[in-house]
C-alpha cells in the first residue's frame, strides 16, 4: 500500500491523541507573489550581434544571453544526428534504417534545407506514434496505472484513458480543451458517453485502503489523505504548485492559504470514483440488469460450492447455463466501462446499529468542507465554500465560485482562464524540458517561490503567449522548438561544456540517455520484432511474447514489474514530473543476462549472419561502421562465421552499447 504525502500526519494525530502538544507558529504575514503568477510580459525581440544565426523567435532570446556571456552557439548537428534526435523526441522510436541512407551529410542551413527540415518535422508530427510518445510523458504526471490492489474496484478498462490521451495528442486537441476534458468532460455540451474515458485522470486516482471496522475518526484521516492526493495532483500537474502544503496551515512560501486548500478539496469531497458506461442509457440499462443477474448467479455458485448439496453438479450446471444465456442474449454485455467519477458528496459516519464506519455517498449532491485545523479531520473550523485560488481572481475581482455540481467544470475553466498565464507557462516548460533535457524552469512541477527561477523568463513568456494565441496547440509548440537553431545545435562544444556545464545558456545540445521505454522499443525495432499496433489492453512487460511498444506494458501500482523498477520507471501511484536517471549493477546485469536481451540478441544475430556489417550498422545506428568497428567485427567472427551463438554475442554487444542508449 502506498502511503500518502501526508502520512506523517497520522503520527502527529496519534501523538495528539496520546496527550502530545503541537505548537502552532504565528502567521508569518503575506507571502511574496511568485514571478509565475504575473501576467505574461511580451516585448520586442532582443538584439543580437550574429543576426544570421536565428531561425525562429526562440533563437533571439537564447543567442542574446549567450553573447552576453561571451559564448557562441555550437555548430548545427549532422543531418543523421538530427534525424535520430527528432525521431526519438517526437515518437520515441529510431528513424527507419532505409531513410537514413537518404539523409544529407552536410550541416547546411540554406533556405531550401530549412524548408526540407520543416517538412520532416511536420511529417514526424503526423505519425501516430507521436501520440504514444507524448502520452507516456503525460501519464507519468497523471499517476496512470493498469493494475491496482485487489481490494479496489476494477481497472480492467483503464487502457481506454491511455488510448484517449494518445488520440487527443495525435489530433492536436487544444491543451485548454485537453484539461477541460480530463476534469469535467461530462459537463461539456458536446460530451458523449464514450468521452467519459477522459475522466481517467480522476477516475484512476490512487485510493487508500480503509478498514471499515475501525471508527470514523480514523477513516476520516484516510479519506482526507485521498482528497489531499487529488488536490496535489491537480496543483502540480496543471499549475506547477504544491497546493497540498496548505492542508495543515497556510503555505509557507506561496500565497496559498489553508482556506484555498479546503475550497479545492471540497470539489473532491463531492465526487465518487466509479465505473461508468461508454454507451447511452437505453443501451446500458439492460446490460446493467444482465450483469446484476449474472453476479447473483455467480454468488449462487459460490454458495453451492460451500454447501455441497447432493445434486451440486446439476445445480451448478443450471446456473452456468443461465449465465451463458444471459451473456449471449444481452447486446453489448461486454460493454467497456470508463474509470471515471460521478457527482456524490461523501460523508464518513458511524455504521447504523453496529460498530465501524460507513462511507455515506449522497448521490448527485455536493458539499463544502470545514477547515481542518492542522489538517486534522476530527478538529474542524469554519466551512469553506468551494472556489478557486484567491491568488487568481476572475473578471469579477474575486476567486471563481464553484456552483455547478462538485465544481469540476469551474475548476477546469479557472485553470485555463483565470490562471491561463501560469498554466501556459507550465505546459510550455514541460515540452521544452523534454526536448532539451532541462527546463527553462528546471523544477517543472514547482513554479512557486521554492522552485528554480527561469533562466530565460522573457523567452518563456513569449512562447507561452504565442502558444495561447495559436489555440493552445502542442504541435505548434513542437514545430517552433524543433525548427529553431537552438534545438538543432550539436552536442559537441568544448567551450560551452567547460564554462556552462549545466547548459543553462543552451550553447549546445545535451547528450541524453533514452528512457527505458525508448531503449526497449529501439532494441525491438532493431531486431525487427516490434509490433506497432496502437491501443488496446496492457500486458506484462516481461512476458517473452510481448513485443509491443513499452507504453502498453502493464503498470501495477502495488507490485511493479522488476524490469520496470530497475530502469527508473517511476511509481505509477505518484505524480512524476521527470524521470530520475540512475546507473546500477542491476541495469548492467539486465543487459548481459536478461531473457529479453538474450532473445533479441539471438534474433538480431541470425539476421546479421546473413548481412554485411555495414548493413547491421545502418539498421541499428543509421550510419556506416568506422574502419576500426568493421575490423573488430571481422576479427570477432573470424573462423566462426556460421556459428549463430557467436553472432548473437556480437549483436548483444551492439544492443547493449552506449550508441543504442544515448541520443546526441
pLDDT in tens, 198-233: 999 999 999 999 999 999 999 999 999 999 999 999
Confidence of residue 110 (pLDDT cuts 50, 70, 90): low
* Tally of CB atoms within 10 A around 337: 23
Distance between CA atoms of residues 486 and 53, nearest Å: 9
Q: List CB contacts of 543: < 8 A, sequence separation 6 or more.
A: none
With a cut of 60, say whether residue 98 has pLDDT above it. no
**CA pair distance 374, 402, nearest whole angstrom:** 25
Residue 461 has pLDDT above 90, yes or no: yes
| Average pLDDT over the chain, rounded to an integer | 91
Going by pLDDT thresholds of 50, 70 and 90, the confidence category of residue 114 is low
Mean pLDDT lowest among 14-28, 444-458, 646-660? 14-28
Confidence of residue 27 (pLDDT cuts 50, 70, 90): low
Total-model pTM: 0.91
pLDDT computed for residue 30 by the predictor: 77
Taking 60 as the threshold, does the pLDDT of residue 5 lie above it? no
Residue 582 binned pLDDT confidence (cut-offs 50, 70, 90): very high
State the pLDDT at residue 24.
40
Indicate whether 111 pLDDT > 80: no
Q: What is the mean pLDDT of residues 173-193?
A: 97
> Confidence band (pLDDT; 50, 70, 90) for 604?
very high
Q: Tell me which residue has cell 542574446.
A: 64
pLDDT band at 317; cut points 50, 70, 90: very high
Cβ(335)–Cβ(284) below 8 Å: yes
Q: In whole angstroms, how far apart are CA 549 and each of 525, 533, 555, 601?
A: 10, 8, 13, 18
- C-alpha cell read off for 84: 535520430
Region 243-247 average pLDDT: 96
- For 343-352, what is the mean pLDDT? 95
- Alpha helices (H) along 250-379: 258-268, 281-307, 312-329
Predicted confidence at residue 208, as pLDDT, reads: 92
pLDDT of residue 369: 97
pLDDT tens digits for 365-379? 999 999 999 999 999
Contacts of 340 (CB under 8 A, 6+ apart): 186, 196, 197, 199, 200, 202, 203, 273, 274, 275, 276
Amino acid at each position: 500500500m502506498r502511503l500518502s504525502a501526508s502520512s506523517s500526519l497520522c503520527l502527529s494525530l496519534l501523538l495528539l491523541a496520546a496527550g502530545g502538544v503541537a505548537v502552532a507558529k504565528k502567521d508569518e504575514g503575506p507571502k511574496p507573489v511568485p514571478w509565475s503568477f504575473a501576467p505574461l510580459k511580451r516585448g520586442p525581440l532582443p538584439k543580437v550581434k550574429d543576426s544570421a544565426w536565428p531561425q525562429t523567435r526562440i533563437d533571439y532570446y537564447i543567442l542574446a544571453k549567450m553573447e552576453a556571456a561571451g559564448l557562441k552557439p555550437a555548430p548545427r548537428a549532422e543531418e543523421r544526428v538530427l534525424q535520430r534526435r527528432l525521431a526519438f523526441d517526437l515518437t520515441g522510436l529510431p528513424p527507419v534504417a532505409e531513410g537514413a541512407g537518404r539523409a544529407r551529410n552536410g550541416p547546411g542551413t540554406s533556405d531550401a534545407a530549412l524548408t526540407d527540415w520543416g517538412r520532416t518535422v511536420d511529417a514526424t508530427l503526423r505519425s501516430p506514434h507521436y501520440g504514444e510518445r507524448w502520452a507516456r510523458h503525460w501519464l507519468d504526471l497523471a499517476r496512470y496505472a493498469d493494475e491496482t490492489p485487489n481490494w479496489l474496484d476494477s481497472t480492467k478498462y483503464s487502457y481506454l484513458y491511455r488510448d484517449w490521451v494518445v488520440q487527443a495528442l495525435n489530433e492536436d486537441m487544444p491543451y485548454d480543451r485537453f484539461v477541460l476534458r480530463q476534469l469535467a468532460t461530462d459537463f461539456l455540451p458536446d460530451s458523449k458517453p464514450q468521452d467519459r474515458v477522459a475522466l481517467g485522470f480522476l477516475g484512476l486516482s490512487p485510493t487508500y485502503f480503509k478498514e471499515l471496522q475501525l471508527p470514523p475518526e480514523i477513516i476520516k484521516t484516510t479519506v482526507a489523505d485521498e482528497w489531499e492526493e487529488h488536490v496535489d495532483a491537480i496543483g502540480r500537474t496543471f499549475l506547477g504548485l504544491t497546493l497540498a502544503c496548505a492542508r495543515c496551515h497556510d503555505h509557507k512560501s506561496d500565497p496559498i492559504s489553508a482556506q484555498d486548500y479546503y475550497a479545492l478539496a471540497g470539489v473532491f469531497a463531492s465526487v465518487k470514483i466509479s465505473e461508468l458506461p461508454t454507451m447511452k442509457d437505453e443501451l446500458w440499462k439492460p446490460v446493467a440488469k444482465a450483469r446484476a443477474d449474472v453476479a447473483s448467479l455467480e454468488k449462487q455458485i459460490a454458495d453451492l460450492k460451500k454447501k455441497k448439496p447432493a445434486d451440486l453438479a446439476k445445480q451448478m450446471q443450471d446456473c452456468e447455463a443461465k449465465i451463458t444465456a444471459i451473456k449471449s442474449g444481452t447486446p453489448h454485455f461486454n460493454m467497456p466501462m470508463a474509470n471515471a467519477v460521478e457527482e456524490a458528496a461523501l460523508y464518513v459516519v458511524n455504521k447504523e446499529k453496529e460498530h465501524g464506519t460507513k462511507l455515506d455517498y449522497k448521490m448527485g449532491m455536493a458539499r463544502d468542507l470545514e477547515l481542518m485545523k492542522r489538517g486534522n479531520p476530527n478538529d474542524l473550523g469554519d466551512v469553506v465554500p468551494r472556489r478557486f485560488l484567491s491568488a487568481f481572481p476572475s473578471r469579477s475581482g474575486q476567486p471563481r465560485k464553484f456552483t455547478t455540481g462538485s465544481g469540476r467544470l469551474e475548476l477546469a475553466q479557472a485553470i485555463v482562464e483565470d490562471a491561463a498565464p501560469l498554466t501556459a507557462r507550465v505546459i510550455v516548460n514541460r515540452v521544452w524540458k523534454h526536448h532539451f533535457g532541462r527546463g527553462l524552469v528546471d523544477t517543472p512541477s514547482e513554479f512557486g517561490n521554492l522552485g528554480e527561477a527561469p533562466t530565460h523568463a522573457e523567452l518563456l513568456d513569449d512562447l507561452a503567449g504565442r502558444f495561447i494565441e495559436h489555440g493552445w496547440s502542442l504541435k505548434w509548440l513542437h514545430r517552433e522548438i524543433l525548427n529553431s537553431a537552438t534545438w538543432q545545435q550539436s552536442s559537441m562544444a568544448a567551450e560551452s561544456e567547460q564554462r556552462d556545464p549545466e547548459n543553462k545558456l543552451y550553447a549546445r545540445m545535451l547528450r541524453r540517455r533514452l528512457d527505458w521505454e525508448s531503449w526497449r522499443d529501439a532494441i525491438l525495432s532493431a531486431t525487427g520484432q516490434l509490433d506497432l499496433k496502437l491501443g488496446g489492453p496492457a500486458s506484462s512487460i516481461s512476458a517473452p511474447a510481448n513485443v509491443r511498444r513499452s507504453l502498453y506494458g502493464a503498470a501495477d501500482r502495488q507490485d511493479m514489474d522488476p524490469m520496470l523498477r530497475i530502469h527508473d520507471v517511476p511509481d505509477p501511484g505518484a505524480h512524476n514530473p521527470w524521470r530520475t536517471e540512475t546507473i546500477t549493477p542491476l541495469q548492467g546485469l539486465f543487459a548481459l543476462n536478461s531473457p529479453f536481451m538474450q532473445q533479441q540478441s539471438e534474433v538480431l544475430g541470425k539476421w546479421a549472419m546473413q548481412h554485411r556489417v555495414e548493413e547491421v550498422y545502418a539498421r541499428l545506428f543509421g550510419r556506416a561502421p568506422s574502419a576500426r568497428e568493421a575490423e573488430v567485427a571481422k576479427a570477432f567472427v573470424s573462423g566462426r562465421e556460421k556459428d549463430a551463438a557467436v553472432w548473437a554475442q556480437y549483436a548483444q554487444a551492439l544492443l547493449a552499447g552506449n550508441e543504442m542508449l544515448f541520443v546526441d
